[in-house]
Structure 1
Amino acid sequence: MEDQVARLVDKAWEKFQQLPADRRLLIAIAGIPGSGKTTLSQIVTAALNARHASLHPEVPDAVPPAVFVPMDGYHLTRAQLSAMPDPALAHARRGAEFTFDGPGFLTLVKALRTVPPPPLQPLYAPSFDHAIKDPKADDIAILPAHRIVVFEGNYVCLDKEPWRSAAQLMDERWFVDVDFEMARRRLVRRHVEAGIAKDEEEAGKRADENDLVNGAQIVKERVDVHEIIKSKEDGNWVHK
């Protein structure tokens, strides 16, 4: 796994070096819940920034070139879910494709593609505040110096509009492939640890009735990708 991640970092770095000065490198990393895509995205972002820092020690306080933008911030708010025709279903299925602000995500990707760096002002993406269980607007700054943007999320490579249009604007599309049983074990553990479920039985029910249902769509309705990364249990890659 470590060799595979190193190869991906090398590939992204080489593309970055060949990038025209008026473009950003956009990378989308998708996968089902529990695949490890979040951790992989964070590892790749940190490795790219570490490489840049090692090659430019003369500017230790420089803004690193890569920024990580998770799709979690594009969850619809609980108030928006409550305003849907079937609020109970919307809340129960939070995390499904229809409970995300796909048009908002596409708007950001288009802006990053069309606004050449450095723009006059930073661009902003929302984050997800787990304390209030809702998005936090304009919480992730994408600065003029950020010329590599690593997106991560369930639907960043989904073959359905508006996700398809966003995926087509990416320079690299990577998909983290995982066995569903392995993903389920990770999800059960994660839901209990995060307090989303009171015990493993409740966590398993959530995984079976929501996360893995979403996962089936993510696998079945996937655009063509440039890389498929096999997710395994590996001490060098702590999955989230």
Structure 2
Amino acid sequence: MTGARLLRRVRELVEADDRVVIGIAGCPGAGKTTLAGWLAEHLTAAGLPAVWVPMDGFHLADVELERLGRLARKGAMDTFDAHGYLALLRRIRAETATLVYAPSFDREIEQPIAGAIPVPPAARVVVSEGNYLLARDEPWRQVRAVMTEVWYVDLDDRLRLDRLVKRHIRFGKSPDHAARWVAEVDEPNAERIRATRGDADLLLDFDTLALSP
């Protein structure tokens, strides 16, 4: 599968629906964000208006994670507002004649930013990436049902883990802290995510996508 074939696949889906929602799942560091941004950008450039709405916008704020005693596990399934994410996706599918605002996630401050992403009526495709889009727990099962398709992206684990550690360092963790976080937080999450890959509509190897600039 290549990036060009993915664009064609989405175009075919749009022919059968007023608005298509594509989910991209995968382990931390697998390339979900890169693929989601690329897909939205290239669909729009090709005349098919698309918006990227990350699931990370539904991270619970650090102050709430601290209150719940979950701050040291940030990124785990129960550190997201899953019901809020589901409600937004339902609005995106149903309210195609009105402007809908979605939250973003700012990695510089590691916090969600409310109302940062406009989804206009003209948007024919919404791309949303996240770790747990194929999870069978509720309400994630309902999240999956709202999406048109969910793709699962893989990346060689050695490369993925190296990228993940470097990302944590880039956004403020020390090298030792980054390595511990990957081993103690990200990888237990990855095991849970990897178990859902068989439920995806499409399995992708990030290295073979050949995403064009």
TM-score under structure 2 length normalisation: 0.92
In the alignment, which residue of structure 2 is the partner of 1:47? Answer: 42
CA distance in 2 between partners of 1:231 and 1:222 (Å): 14
CA distance in 1 between partners of 2:198 and 2:121 (Å): 29
In the alignment, which residue of structure 1 is the partner of 2:50? Answer: 66
CA distance in 2 between partners of 1:126 and 1:225 (Å): 25
In the alignment, which residue of structure 1 is the partner of 2:90? Answer: 110
Name the count of aligned residue pairs. Answer: 213
TM-score under structure 1 length normalisation: 0.82
In the alignment, which residue of structure 2 is the partner of 1:61? Answer: none
CA distance in 2 between partners of 1:187 and 1:159 (Å): 25
1:29 maps to which of 10, 24, 39: 24
Letter in structure 1 aligned against 2:63: A
The Cα of 1:96 is off from its aligned counterpart by 0.6
The Cα of 1:223 is off from its aligned counterpart by 6.6
The alignment status of 1:19 with 2:19, answered yes or no, reads: no
Q: CA 1:131–1:38 in 2, change beyond 3 Å: closer, same or farther?
A: closer
The Cα of 1:129 is off from its aligned counterpart by 2.6
CA distance in 1 between partners of 2:208 and 2:91 (Å): 37
In the alignment, which residue of structure 2 is the partner of 1:214? Answer: 189
- Is there any run of 5+ residues in structure 1 with no aligned partner, and where? 53-63
2:67 maps to which of 76, 83, 88: 83
Letter in structure 2 aligned against 1:198: S
Structure exhibiting the larger radius of gyration computed from Cα positions:
1
Q: Percent identity?
A: 38
Give every structure 1 segment of 4 or more consecutive aligned residues whose post-TM-superposition deviation is greater than 4 Å: 233-238
Q: CA 1:106–1:223 in 2, change beyond 3 Å: closer, same or farther?
A: farther
Deviations 1:104-152 (Å, cap 9, x if unpaired)?
A: 000011112222x223xx1111112334332111111111111210011
The alignment status of 1:158 with 2:167, answered yes or no, reads: no
Stretch deviating more after TM superposition (184-193 or 97-106): 184-193
Q: CA 1:136–1:223 in 2, change beyond 3 Å: closer, same or farther?
A: farther
In the alignment, which residue of structure 1 is the partner of 2:126? Answer: 149
CA distance in 2 between partners of 1:223 and 1:160 (Å): 15
CA distance in 1 between partners of 2:37 and 2:128 (Å): 10
Letter in structure 2 aligned against 1:232: D
2:149 maps to which of 172, 189, 200: 172
Letter in structure 2 aligned against 1:72: D
Root-mean-square deviation (CA, aligned residues, Å) is 2.0
CA distance in 1 between partners of 2:12 and 2:197 (Å): 26
CA distance in 1 between partners of 2:174 and 2:212 (Å): 27
Give the secondary-structure state (helix, strand or coil) at the position aligned to 1:149.
strand
Give the secondary-structure state (helix, strand or coil) at the position aligned to 2:199.
coil
